[in-house]
Structures are given as structure tokens and as C-alpha cells.
């Protein structure tokens, strides 16, 4: 066994120098390449997957926006309906106010007429109270707050008493004699007169 080992060692030692160098080179640390390439099919699938994800995200965003828009449209429609109802209510309120104003105007006219009639009644009552005996009023005409009174009597004294009564009455003032004439009526002498006075109410 020892002889064989010596022969083996001799054979190794007798190798040419070039072969020794070549073996040393072969026995060196092997170089490792770091250049990896993705398989073609795997790259295509990855790109397609990215596109699919992007499309799904865009679809979700679009659906969300459409849902929001539909909700806003519904709210706008509801608000428009409510606004139309409010406009109808406002129109009714305006009509009611107009009718109320017209009615108030008519009531005012009636009240003025009633007040005027009441004042006329008071004027006539106080005028009748101021007329002395043996005097008859022929015509009473009102123009604004002025009265023009025409009548007949038997003497100037009675006309003077009538004017005095008017001055003392709280409803009349500024009594002025316009005309007084002596006339004959059925063979009797009479005094025909016309005077004016102001109304204090």
C-alpha cells in the first residue's frame, strides 16, 4: 500500500507546470453573475395586473362620484320642489295682503262715510237747535267745512238771534250775514236772509 501512494504522488508532482497552473485556475473561486432577467410571460402578467388594478380604482371612484352626483341631484330636486311650494305660499300671502289692503281701504271709506253721516246728523241737529221761533230754513248747503244757510223770518231781530245762537254753538263759528231783504209774501212782510258759517268738526 505504501508503494502505490508513492507512485501516485510522483505522478502528481511530475505534471507539467502549465497543467499545474491550469488546475490552480480551475480550483479558483467561481464567479457568480448577478444579472437576473424576468421571464417574459411573468412581466406581461404583472403589467396587466397593474392596469386592472388602476381600472378597478377608477371605476370605484367613478361609481362614488356618480352616487354623490345622484344624491346631489335628488337634494336639488327636493329643494326646488320646496322652493316652488314656498313661492306659491309667498304668492298667496301677497294676494291675501292685497285683499286685506283693499278691504281695509273699503272699511276706511265706509268709516269715513259713517263719520261723515254722523257729523252731518250732528250738524243738522245742532243747526235745528239754533233756529229760533218764527224762522224757517229754506236751504242749507255744505261746501267743505262751510255752510251756506238761507231762510225766512218776520224781523231782523230774529235773524240776529239766529246768528247769536250759531256763534254760541260749539259746532259752528265765523257766522257772517250775506244778504237780508224785506219781501212781501201773501200780504205779509217777511225777511229773506242768507248767511254763512264754518263747521268746527
Q: What is the pLDDT of residues 69-108, one digit of tens each?
A: 888 888 888 888 877 777 777 877 888 788 778 767 776 7
Angle in degrees, CA 83, 86, 88, rounded to 5: 110
From CA 135, how far away is CA 166, in angstroms rounded?
14
pTM of whole model > 0.75?
Answer: no
| 132-199 carries CATH number 3.30.460 | no
Query: Among all chains, which residue has been given the C-alpha cell 464567479?
Result: 31
Q: Which pLDDT value is given to residue 132?
A: 93
Question: SS3 for 166?
Answer: helix
Listed by start position, the domains of the chain span 132-199
Question: SS3 for 195?
Answer: strand
**φ and ψ of 131, to 5 deg:** -75, 120
Cβ-proximal residues to 132 (8 Å cutoff; 6+ apart), any chain: 153, 158, 161, 162, 165
Q: What is the pLDDT of residues 17-68, one digit of tens each?
A: 555 555 444 444 455 444 445 455 556 777 877 878 888 888 888 888 888 8
The answer to whether 172 and 130 are in contact (CB under 8 A) is yes
From CA 99, how far away is CA 97, in angstroms rounded?
5
Angle in degrees, CA 186, 128, 199, rounded to 5: 120
Amino acid at each position: 500500500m505504501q508503494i502505490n501512494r508513492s507512485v501516485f504522488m510522483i505522478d502528481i508532482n511530475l505534471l507539467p507546470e502549465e497543467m499545474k497552473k491550469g488546475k490552480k485556475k480551475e480550483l479558483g473561486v467561481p464567479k457568480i453573475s448577478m444579472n437576473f432577467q424576468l421571464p417574459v410571460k411573468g412581466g406581461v402578467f404583472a403589467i396587466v395586473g397593474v392596469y386592472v388594478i388602476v381600472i378597478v380604482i377608477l371605476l370605484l371612484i367613478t361609481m362614488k362620484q356618480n352616487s354623490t352626483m345622484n344624491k346631489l341631484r335628488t337634494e336639488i330636486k327636493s329643494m326646488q320642489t320646496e322652493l316652488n311650494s314656498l313661492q306659491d305660499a309667498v304668492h298667496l300671502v301677497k294676494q291675501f295682503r292685497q285683499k286685506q289692503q283693499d278691504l281695509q281701504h273699503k272699511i276706511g271709506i265706509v268709516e269715513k262715510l259713517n263719520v261723515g253721516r254722523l257729523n252731518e246728523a250732528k250738524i243738522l241737529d245742532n243747526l235745528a237747535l239754533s233756529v229760533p221761533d218764527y224762522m224757517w230754513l229754506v236751504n242749507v248747503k255744505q261746501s267743505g267745512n262751510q255752510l251756506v244757510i238761507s231762510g225766512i223770518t218776520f224781523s231782523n231781530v230774529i235773524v240776529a238771534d239766529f246768528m247769536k245762537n250759531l256763534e254760541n254753538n260749539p259746532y259752528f263759528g265765523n257766522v257772517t250775514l250775506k244778504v237780508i231783504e224785506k219781501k212781501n209774501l201773501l200780504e205779509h212782510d217777511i225777511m229773506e236772509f242768507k248767511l254763512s258759517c264754518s263747521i268746527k268738526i
